[in-house]
Structure 1
Amino acid sequence: MPLWAPALCIASLAALALLARRWLARCFQDGPDSDRAPRLICKPSALAKYLLKTCLAVGAGSQPRWAWSGLPHLQTVWSGVWTAGAAVHFTRDYLQLADEGLVALDWAVAAAAGGGRRRSSSSSPAPIVLVIPNSFGKITSNVIKLCASALDCGHRPVIFNRRCQNGCLLTTLKLQQFGDPSDLREAVRYIRYKHPSARLFTVSESTGAGLLLSYLGECGSSSYVTCAACISPIFRCQEWFEKGSPWLYHWLLLIYQKTWLSRYTTALGEIIDMEKLFATQTLKELEEALFCQTKKSNLTWDAYWEKNDPLRDVDEVAVPVLCICSQDDPCRGDADTTLPFELFETNPHFFLLLTKHGGHCGFLKSRSSAWSHEVLLEYFKSVSEFLVTEERTKSFSKRKCAGAVNSMSYKCGRDNSYRGDAFCPHNIHEIFSWQRSYTR
């Protein structure tokens, strides 16, 4: 062996180690480059200005330092498939619906001093965070960590479980369609009845945004929700089912859904061709077998999505909705074709926070913390403070307007020719413009 050979090997190994170190530094800890800062895409409004001013995570100057920034698949798997997360205890409420169906509400509770569980009082004014998991019912590590973060901030998180998902029993021969908000509507009314003085925030994950957006669109200003947020939402759901996600995620979701459906083979066999269902090879075929080509209905694929498209009533949404998305989302696909930018640019109720990295429901700063959760909690606080300010301003303007009316009425009748039915020429609403809105 030549004398220079060992030196060449050592130099090569040192060069490889240096390259690997630089690559790992880029993947595990993103630099503070300006192009890595999140972008807030929305229609200019008073609320948008307030969020940029008060919510540090939303502001353009905020530059999150990502863990595994160059590895979106690893972020996605860690937060979605990997189930290890913060230790959170849950207590379950079963809610019987009008048609005798059953859904479950899992309340996250903090540990008591003696090692037990401490549940919040029904009269507690602490805000409630209603979490809607993905449409497949998978309770991911991301959901658990979100509940833990909300608890730490003094909120009361509760997870909404659909019929026969996550251990909820199937008591009727009916499953919840992708964008049917009827069950969620009853659950929100129940929460409102049990906690009338608490603000209600809602958060959805991934395909769970379909249910949340359907609910907000159908209910409009009667949703009882203060504000809402979506983490890595899927907007064009019909196209997503047709094109499918990368094969690994597609295969995992297909196997997971078939597994929990297999527990109800006998019962569901009365309305669904279970043999055909278990033979399906794609999520589209599975969805069709569940809701379109059943023994009691025969819907076309397009007709099904006319009823379940999450954006079908999007113009009726009456509360602020923040959507957190990443450009490298491996499940949703290319951001330019899968994100409805025109919705955020024209509708004052929708805000898109777009980051360069984050994967699908990832946005990891470390193995145990997610930047998206910090954003949501700051967003809830900022919107609440803004609405309180708006209410005070409107109340003050009303009192001022009422005082002006009384004063003008006195002046109109001071010459003793005033009659109770006389017409007053002063147009109060032209003089005092007191009506305000966060969409102005």
Structure 2
Amino acid sequence: MIKCLLAAVLRQIYKFVNFLLVYIQRLKLISDVIPQIHSKESTLTNHLITKRGMLNCPFQPPFILCNGYVQTLAGLFYKPLQEFHFQREYLQMSDKGAVALDWFIHSTAKLKRTSPILLIFPRLTGNALSVGSICKLGVSKGMRPVVFNRRGYGSSLLFTSYLTSIGDTKDTRRVMEYIQSKFPLGKIIGVGIGAGCTTLFSYLGEFGSSSLMKAAVNISPSYDNTVGGRHIPKLYELLLLFHLKFHLILKNWKVLCNSIDIKEILIKTWTLKKFDYLVYCKSCGKDSFDSFCQRNDPMRDVDDIAVPVLCINSYDDPVSVKENIPFDIFELYPNLILVTVDKGGHCAFFENVKGESWVDRLALQYLQHILEFVSNSKYR
């Protein structure tokens, strides 16, 4: 009873705050943030910009979300007000480990055998619920959303002591083959968010033209995961570490206790660099942390990416900083497109306190237009 009352009060507060934001916007206290595109001129970009007007929709953050740090923290702590339903499926790997696939369930969805499969790679602390909004939007556009959770992530069970790093593509390949066998008539498209972009980028580069994916979007990707390329604010780093220690290490301590030093990780580890070294680097058999970072560099095989990829970054992102964006790469490869905005933070781009994100609409709009484009192009 108390929970229901509290939920009702919170809903009323959200409605009131949102009303104030709409009123302020009408007073012109909220300015439009115009997206900018960076790419090599091609038939693809002309199709997206001229014929489909991909950049016609500006980003409109409210005044309380105009700061990159505020947007970033809002994205980290965001909990959807509405309920989303998923059906979990575990897919076993060759080493007896397993990954969790969360299929989005919507009672009114009328999907076909040819409906595109929207494969989502969540952020480091994300799960199916955290991407529920983009899943719901995907269903409304005739897509079949499914969330890919790495081993032990997304509140999934851990069956072996082997944890995959963000640049490890073996499990992703198995997932892609499984989805294609399950829905042979549906085209697979991908969306990576935050750290999930590294997995998606790495997979597309490593498997090239045989990736089985038709198009992808990376939201707030980091392009340089080497030691020198990391720019993570300390508060944000500590929040990530607390989450990983509790939800990944402590939750699975019985499975992990014989392969990693849990005590050292929980008590003495206060940087992501050391966490990655103790949890992933040793298990991967890498001699040094530098070689481990190079193996998990999302851009290591960028030359071999064979499908259209859209990357979306904000200049006020405190994690994936502007200085690390490789603008020259987007001017070199016609299938890689970069869209930037001045505001938006990291994995957020919220336009109101209800958590409605501008970037979700842009990502799915792009994927829709690409599916139209590739039907009569070399990317088919």
TM surpasses 0.5: yes
What is residue 291 of structure 1 aligned with on the other side? 280
Q: 2:87 aligns with which of 91, 103, 106?
A: 91
Q: 2:244 aligns with which of 238, 257, 263?
A: 257
What is residue 361 of structure 1 aligned with on the other side? 347
What is residue 329 of structure 1 aligned with on the other side? 317
Contact 1:82 1:140 in 2 (8 A): no
How has the CA–CA distance of structure 1 residues 26 and 286 changed in structure 2, closer, same or farther, with 3 Å as cutoff?
Answer: farther
Does residue 378 (structure 1) correspond to residue 369 (structure 2)? The answer is no
What is residue 42 of structure 1 aligned with on the other side? 39
> What pairs with 1:171-210 in structure 2 (closer than 5 Å)?
171-210=159-198
For each residue in 1:230-263, what CA deviation from the matched residue of structure 2 results, as whole angstroms up to 9, or x when unmatched?
11111111247x7441122111100000112112
For each residue in 1:111-145, what CA deviation from the matched residue of structure 2 results, as whole angstroms up to 9, or x when unmatched?
25xxxxx7x77x621111000012x3422765121
What is residue 63 of structure 1 aligned with on the other side? 58
Can you give the 5+ residue segments of structure 1 that lack an aligned partner in the other structure?
Answer: 1-20, 113-117, 391-436
Contact 1:27 1:67 in 2 (8 A): no
Q: 2:329 aligns with which of 343, 348, 358?
A: 343
For each residue in 1:309-328, what CA deviation from the matched residue of structure 2 results, as whole angstroms up to 9, or x when unmatched?
11111100000000111111
Aligned counterparts of 2:259 and 2:104: Cα–Cα separation in 1: 35
What is residue 260 of structure 2 aligned with on the other side? 272
For each residue in 1:141-177, what CA deviation from the matched residue of structure 2 results, as whole angstroms up to 9, or x when unmatched?
6512111211222211100011111232222221102
TM-score, reference length from structure 2: 0.86
> What pairs with 1:230-245 in structure 2 (closer than 5 Å)?
230-239=218-227, 243-245=230-232
Shift of 1:94: 0.8
The one-letter code matched in structure 1 to 2:38 is I
Choose 1 or 2 for highest CA Rg: 1
RMSD: 2.5
How has the CA–CA distance of structure 1 residues 239 and 53 changed in structure 2, closer, same or farther, with 3 Å as cutoff?
Answer: farther
Match of 1:83, SS state, is: coil
How has the CA–CA distance of structure 1 residues 64 and 151 changed in structure 2, closer, same or farther, with 3 Å as cutoff?
Answer: same
TM-score, reference length from structure 1: 0.75
- Give the paired residue count: 354
Aligned counterparts of 1:27 and 1:154: Cα–Cα separation in 2: 37
Q: Give the % identical residues.
A: 32
Question: Which stretches of structure 1, 4 residues or longer, exceed 6 Å deviation after superposition?
Answer: none
Match of 1:237, SS state, is: coil
Greater relative contact order (Cα < 8 A, sep 6+): 2
For each residue in 1:187-240, what CA deviation from the matched residue of structure 2 results, as whole angstroms up to 9, or x when unmatched?
011000000001111000011111001100111011111100011111111247
Q: 2:376 aligns with which of 385, 389, 399?
A: 389
